Amino acid sequence: MAVGEGTLPTLHPVAGFKLGTTEAGIKTPGRADLVVMEICEGGTVAGVFTRNAFCAAPVQIAKQHLSAVNSRYFIVNTGNANAGTGEQGLKDSVSTCNAMAQLMSCESNEILPFSTGVIGEPLPIGKITAALPKAVAVLSNDGWSAAAKGIMTTDTRPKAASHQFEFLGQAVTVTGMAKGAGMIKPNMATMLAYVATNAAVDTEILNKMVADAVNASFNRITIDGDTSTNDACMLVATGQLEIPVIDSVSHELFLPLQACIDKVCIELAQGLVRDGEGASKFVSVNVTGGLDEEECLQVAYTVAESPLVKTALFASDPNWGRLLMAIGRAGIDNLDVNLVNVKIGDVLIAENGSRAESYTEEKGETAMAGEEISIGIDLSRGNASVTVWTSDLSHEYVRINAEYRT
Strand pairing of 192-197 and 170-179?
A: antiparallel
Q: pLDDT tens across 109-118, in order?
A: 999 999 999 8
- Over the chain, what is the mean pLDDT? 94
Can you list the pairs that 362-371 forms with residues at least 24 positions away whose Cβ atoms lie under 8 Å? 364/318, 364/320, 365/316, 365/317, 365/318, 367/318, 368/313, 368/316, 368/317, 368/318, 368/344, 369/316, 371/3, 371/4, 371/280, 371/281, 371/282
Side-chain-side CA neighbours of 212 within 13 Å: the count stands at: 16
- Catalytic residue, from 44, 50, 190, 227: name it: 190
All domains in the chain, ordered by first residue: 17-274 (3.60.70.12), 282-402 (3.10.20.340)
Backbone angles phi, psi at 124, to 5 degrees: -75, 75
Of 7, 10, 5, 44, nearest to 142 (Cα)? 10
Backbone angles phi, psi at 295, to 5 degrees: -75, -30
Q: Are 190 and 212 in contact (CB under 8 A)?
A: no
Q: pLDDT tens across 219-262, in order?
A: 999 887 777 778 899 999 999 999 999 999 999 999 999 999 99
pLDDT band (50, 70, 90) for residue 379 = very high
CA 397 and chain centroid, separation: 19
H helix runs in 13-169, sequence order: 57-68, 86-104, 125-137, 144-150
Is 203 considered catalytic here? no
Strand pairing of 221-222 and 354-355?
A: unpaired
Of 212, 218, 220, nearest to 231 (Cα)? 218
Can you list the pairs that 141-145 forms with residues at least 24 positions away whose Cβ atoms lie under 8 Å? 141/13, 141/14, 141/15, 141/17, 141/18, 142/13, 143/18, 143/19, 143/20, 143/21, 144/11, 144/13, 144/19, 144/175, 144/177, 145/8, 145/11
Res 152: pLDDT? 93
Res 227: pLDDT? 75
Backbone angles phi, psi at 73, to 5 degrees: -140, 145
pTM above 0.75, yes or no: yes
Res 207: pLDDT? 97
Q: pLDDT tens across 208-222, in order?
A: 999 999 999 999 998
Backbone angles phi, psi at 393, to 5 degrees: -120, 110
Res 189: pLDDT? 61
Q: pLDDT tens across 38-65, in order?
A: 999 999 999 999 888 889 999 999 999 9
Of 364, 377, 184, nearest to 274 (Cα)? 184
Res 305: pLDDT? 93
Of 260, 274, 39, nearest to 161 (Cα)? 260
